[in-house]
Homo-oligomer: A and B are copies of this chain.
């Protein structure tokens, strides 16, 4: 590990969240979310300070108690104005920046950048300023500061001005829009965003495409190209293998095998999220069954999904559509002995891992995705010489593309053809493809991603 000086991590969700026990005391449990589960084990025993927002009432109460020691690092929960936090998180982070960078807007109607939205942008700035102030006050001299994700695009502005000794890098876990898409934002907002990010020593992304988009936006709006680096995250192989080897997972695998018999299995594991393209995945399966009748009764499509952001009406509507289309396909194609679609929204992690061990085809077809760890997890865990059908719009395509069957995620017919090709691939080629995918997915470990950030931070500080 490259960690020499003090380390400071900043993210929206923290590694612990607090709740109230029966006796009224505060109890800490591991925070949820991909970032936390990736970063958590990496900073264990580094004595790092991890700063995150105090979200629930219990979090905020714990925040008042000050720094919490945990698993070899320290947690600093930062209390922010709750009303400001809601606008920061729901309006700007989830409903603006997420939609912008994933290209999800229906532009005839959204976004509607009215006075309420501009107030939300002010709140986003305020929350970023609150975090910047705390870092400026609390970070030791020449600390390395790892600012995580699009929630904190502006923090760098004040760090560069007030603490030029700090070595701050920013890492974005989602895609980054191109200069034409950025035109949706008001010019001053776009400038503020790009100035904030480019005030770091360097900005990191999971794929070259997002780094190039960010650099092109800076070039067009600010007139210069900032330092960027590309560093795809990898799953913790030992950790997921541990789950794969667990009795819970073996039980799930046995149940799945019993249900399947000698049928083939297409799997997807996803959050129910507009960018994940669940609907076109089902339509492609529908087209496969319609145009290739030889697959009827011979293949099951298991979608292991979990609900997300149901406070946003778009997500609730999307979930209902996903459920309706899955039901429609079963009504259309099921026979007394065969249910073609298995939609499991129970968020059962051992069952998901069992499905990844067992798949013949893994469908990863997002319309846009910063990286997509599931594709790598599948390639690492699969025990069935399964083939990955992979969207060219996922960041992970830059790594796994050569070992996958590539799809244009908008092309339902093309996706149906790719599923057919994947199901029809002969055993020796399947084995070669699976081996290749496993090799590519295993090239990097989580610590490579952390080290890339530390390396990017370890450059002469920018002029304050």
Residues of A within 8 A of B (CB): 103-109, 111-115, 117-118, 178, 180-181, 183-187, 274-275, 277, 279-280, 283, 287, 290-291, 318, 321, 367-368, 392-393, 408, 410-414, 416
Contacts and interface: CB of A to CB of B under 8 A. Distances in A.
B118 A413 contact: yes
Contact of A186 (B111, B178, B408): B408
A47 to B, nearest CB: 43
A413 B115 contact: yes
Closest 10 CB pairs of A and B: A106-B106, A108-B274, A114-B412, A113-B411, A186-B411, A184-B410, A118-B413, A107-B367, A115-B413, A178-B180
B413 A114 contact: yes
Given A107-B367, A318-B108, A367-B108, A114 B184 contact: no
B414 A112 contact: no
Nearest to A112: B412
A98 to B, nearest CB: 12
A107 B113 contact: no
A40 B410 CA distance: 39
A183 B408 contact: yes
Contact of A103 (B107, B186, B321): B107
- Identical copies in the complex: 2
A114 B287 contact: yes
24 contacts: A105-B106, A107-B367, A107-B368, A108-B275, A108-B277, A108-B279, A108-B318, A108-B367, A112-B279, A112-B283, A113-B408, A113-B410, A113-B411, A114-B413, A115-B291, A115-B412, A115-B416, A178-B178, A178-B180, A184-B408, A185-B410, A186-B408, A186-B410, A186-B411
Contacts of A414: 113, 186
A330 to B, nearest CB: 19
A378 to B, nearest CB: 23
Given A114-B283, A178-B180, 18 more contacts: A103-B107, A104-B106, A106-B106, A108-B318, A111-B410, A112-B280, A112-B283, A113-B414, A114-B287, A114-B412, A115-B290, A115-B416, A178-B178, A180-B181, A183-B393, A186-B408, A186-B411, A186-B414
A183 B409 CA distance: 10
Most buried by B among A108, A283, A392, A408: A108
Nearest to A189: B411
A100 to B, nearest CB: 10
Contacts of A185: 408, 410
Nearest to A103: B107
Contacts of A410: 107, 111-113, 184-186
